[in-house]
Amino acid sequence: MAYTAPTGETSFILNELVGYPALQRTERFADTTADVTEAILGEAGRLAERLWPLGAAGDRDPARLENGRVRTTEGFAEAYRAISDGGWIGLAAPPQRGGMGLPQCLNVAVNEYLASACLALEVKLLLTQGQIDALEHHGSEAQKALYLPKLTTGEWSGTMNLTEPQAGSDVGALATRAEPQADGSWSVTGQKIYISWGDSDLVENVCHLVLARTPDAPGGTRGISLFMVPKVLPGDDGGLGPPNTLRVLGLEEKLGLHGSPTAVMSYEGARGWLVGAEHGGMAAMFTMMNNARLGVAAQGIGLAEAAYQHALAYARDRRQGAVGGTGAIVEHPDVRRMLAEAKAEIFAARAIALACGVAIDEADATGSDDWRARAAFLTPIAKSYCTEVGCRTADSGIQVHGGMGYVEDTGAARFLRDARITPIYEGTNGIQAIDLVGRKLADGGEAAFRLIDEIETGAETARRPVPDMARSVWSGAESLREATEWMLAQGIETRLGGASAFLNAFALVLGGHFHLKAATRGGAARRALAEVYVARILPRAGASLAAAQAGVDDLFALSVDDLG
């Protein structure tokens, strides 16, 4: 089958649902006209359609380590060059560093398309974008001048080195150390794991941003600093100098994402430079992370869309049993249900992620704290919900295929294997939920209630054209308000027992909001899809809200031994 980039879906959501036209009226994004937007989406879509075969190729012919060097899948080098040359790495990067200066919401769309085509390659782009963002916010002028142009053109690429065997979600437990040198550089020593694209033959230099502990640093996260540790040391002329003392010890054998080399990295007195303030590593890491979290949301949507198109093509083609219409299995009600539910969820997920992108851009354009708070609130929701939709759609895509779904040749299983990393990396979905009910409710619920107000206002507006759906969404929002109030009245520990369910419910009701808006602004098909969502998906919010308010006592009433 072929993949078709869903540019029409993106445009509709941007223009009708998430306030993109208002963003275009800001001074900051005045150049991003309708024509520019259409050109960007069209161009990126066509590239993704062209790169589509690489998703399967990377799976069949994984990245491998040969004599300490990473060899990548055939075709990846040309593809990465095409991505670089198209300017896609620097889409949202500042123009004075070679970027296009376009809004993040377009980056979300472009990254979604590229992730549909080949997640293994797209993750390399995403990490480099995160590094550009981190350097832009925390690097020195010299660092920006040296690294940003090379990263933006794709000559060099970036990695993020957080995890160590004993320090995963608990970043503060890391042991890699950095010793100051006479010349102002640092000597970095330690081992890092799960380093996506820790090395490759696609670029001439790999720039590692490494979290490490300086001498006499305080314990935990407060004592962590960030270092730039390039694979090849930059020469005095800005070109390439001698190799640094770092090595790839091995690549992980993973469930999926085989085209992406996941390295165990060893830093052996490697030369590095402090990025940002000493002990300020966590702040820089969060800049990288926040960008990456919305990027991972885009990956979830991309995987969902790819798996969905793949399953739909099969269902339209495969004939089994006597059914009406085209005679294909898509005419069987339960197959139609799986596909319709998937399409409805993908729509909701995409709208949430694009709304989050627009909020980031509005914050950037206006400096408004409200927009910033909205973006911060939507980020963990987008990351978790979109990645869960990615896995769920890949899973139902297998089911649509029946026995063929279990056979690797068909390709359906790969989407699930690839998608399964997304609820884990850049902060597990559990961590996102903790972030949501903790830090993101620390404003007394202001950002949450503002969103809920918006959903209810939307439902009021929709009451005349689509009364039943409007009532369901309004009532979902009202239950969400009660649950939010309940959360705010609890201590943090109690909130945590229902954190994931609360996040899920928030996403489901937001999805209902966007579907409702689409039903009133789109044609009959948009309204029909909204009906499916409201009848079959939105009711899950009720179940999630019950679980969200279950507290934590029941979980700990079971002792660890009781669990055994």
Q: Based on the shown chain and the rule CB under 8 A, indicate whether residue 416 belongs to the binding site for a copy of itself.
A: yes
Q: Decide the pairing of beta strands 262-275 and 224-230.
A: antiparallel
Q: What is the CA radius of gyration of the chain?
A: 23
Q: Based on the shown chain and the rule CB under 8 A, indicate whether residue 317 belongs to the binding site for a copy of itself.
A: no
Q: Tell me which of 426, 446, 485, 531 is the catalytic residue.
A: 426
Find the binder of a copy of itself among 321, 464, 489, 491 (CB under 8 A).
321
Number of residues that bind a copy of itself (CB under 8 A): 90
Site string for a copy of itself, 487-506 (x = CB under 8 A): ------x--xx-xxx-----
CB 369 → a copy of itself: shortest distance, Å? 29
Specify whether the CB–CB gap between 132 and 90 falls below 8 A.
yes
Q: Which residues contact 481 (CB under 8 A, 6 or more apart)?
A: 449, 452
Phi, psi of 158 (to 5 degrees): -120, 150
Dist. CA 187–CA 270, nearest whole Å: 5
CB 489 → a copy of itself: shortest distance, Å? 17
Q: Decide the pairing of beta strands 64-66 and 69-71.
A: antiparallel
Q: Which is closer to a copy of itself, CB of 312 or CB of 373?
A: 312
Q: Which residues contact 419 (CB under 8 A, 6 or more apart)?
A: 119, 256, 300, 303, 304, 307, 387, 390, 391, 394
- Kindly indicate which of the ranges 201-209, 365-373, 456-464, 527-535 contains the residues binding a copy of itself, using the contact rule CB under 8 A: 527-535
Q: Which is closer to a copy of itself, CB of 106 or CB of 193?
A: 193
Q: Based on the shown chain and the rule CB under 8 A, indicate whether residue 253 belongs to the binding site for a copy of itself.
A: yes
Q: Based on the shown chain and the rule CB under 8 A, indicate whether residue 528 belongs to the binding site for a copy of itself.
A: yes
Near a copy of itself in 334-353, by CB under 8 A = 334-340, 343
Near a copy of itself in 192-251, by CB under 8 A = 193-194
Near a copy of itself in 390-409, by CB under 8 A = 391, 395, 398-399, 402-409
CB 556 → a copy of itself: shortest distance, Å? 7
Q: Based on the shown chain and the rule CB under 8 A, indicate whether residue 471 belongs to the binding site for a copy of itself.
A: no
Q: Tell me if residue 341 is catalytic.
A: no
Q: Which is closer to a copy of itself, CB of 272 or CB of 302?
A: 302
Near a copy of itself in 162-191, by CB under 8 A = 163, 166-170, 173
Near a copy of itself in 102-161, by CB under 8 A = none
The DSSP secondary structure of 511-560, one letter per residue, reads: HHHHHHHHHHHS-HHHHHHHHHIIIIITTHHHHHHHHHTT-SHHHHHS-H
Specify whether the CB–CB gap between 329 and 318 falls below 8 A.
yes
CB 463 → a copy of itself: shortest distance, Å? 20
Dist. CA 505–CA 430, nearest whole Å: 14
3 state DSSP class of 229? strand
